Amino acid sequence: MNIEDASERDLPEIIVIYNDAIANSTAVFSDQPVTVERQRAWLNARLSAGHPVIVARLDGAVVGFASYGEFRPWPGYRRTVEHSVYVLRSRRRQGIGRRLVGELLDRATRAGMHAVVAGVDAENQASLRMHEQLGFVQVGRMPEVARKFDRWLDLVLLQITL
Ligand SMILES: CC(C)(COP(=O)(O)OP(=O)(O)OC[C@H]1O[C@@H](n2cnc3c(N)ncnc32)[C@H](O)[C@@H]1OP(=O)(O)O)[C@@H](O)C(=O)NCCC(=O)NCCS
């Protein structure tokens, strides 16, 4: 498996992974599927801000993607970023998420970032465990700040200081 910079040609595979998470999980607090056009705008915004968008590629196919971006839009937060990571359902629990986030942490360090934040649904044990395995610590829990599938969801904030 290779970890590579994402490009526009990866967008159709990226949106299959992302739209599965939107439709079938609480990993994303949205129920609106994304289009290639919307994801192209997201990719280009991230890249023009100097932030990474990376893919995991296995036998030529995209099996996961990850990225980080601005945490909050005030100058004091410029060395803190918030990331996200998604792995193709059929390829989970094979170390791909860990590799992707590990690569993001390396890039954040090289870019002079100081803190990396993840916002995770409190029920998402896979994500919580993976982040803790990588050295993230839980720094907050916001009860019932989101709603999906007709129920309230808690947001857990995890952070690693580089
Ligand atoms: C969360 C996610 C990215 C993890 O990626 P992954 O490639 O499946 O995870 P890895 O194989 O790298 O697992 C790393 C560690 O996380 C933990 N973990 C992963 N999946 C787990 C699960 N289903 N249950 C419990 N722990 C799990 C384990 O500690 C694992 O290490 P181990 O296999 O050596 O025990 C993946 O499950 C996913 O894409 N989920 C849907 C989208 C999502 O939740 N994204 C994160 C939003 S914040």
Domain assignments of the chain as residue spans, ordered by start: 2-161
Q: Is 18 in the pocket of ligand 1 (CB under 6 A)?
A: no
Determine whether the shortest distance from the Cβ of 117 to ligand 1 is under 6 A. Answer: no
* C-alpha of 18 from chain center: 10
- pLDDT value at residue 101: 98
Task: Encode pLDDT of 109-120 as tens digits.
Answer: 999 999 999 999
* Sites in the chain below the pLDDT cut of 50: none
Site to substitute for ligand 1 among 98, 148, 155, most atoms within 8 A of C-beta: 98
pLDDT digits (tens, 9 = 90+) for 4-17: 999 999 999 999 99
Q: What does the pLDDT look like over 17-32, one tens digit per residue?
A: 999 999 999 999 999 9
In 3D space, the residue among 75, 51, 62 whose CA is nearest the CA of residue 1 turns out to be 62
- Select from 1.10.240.10, 3.40.630.30, 2.70.70.10, 3.40.50.360 the CATH code of 2-161: 3.40.630.30
Atom 23 of ligand 1 has which residue's CA nearest to it?
126
What does the mean pLDDT of the chain come to? Answer: 98
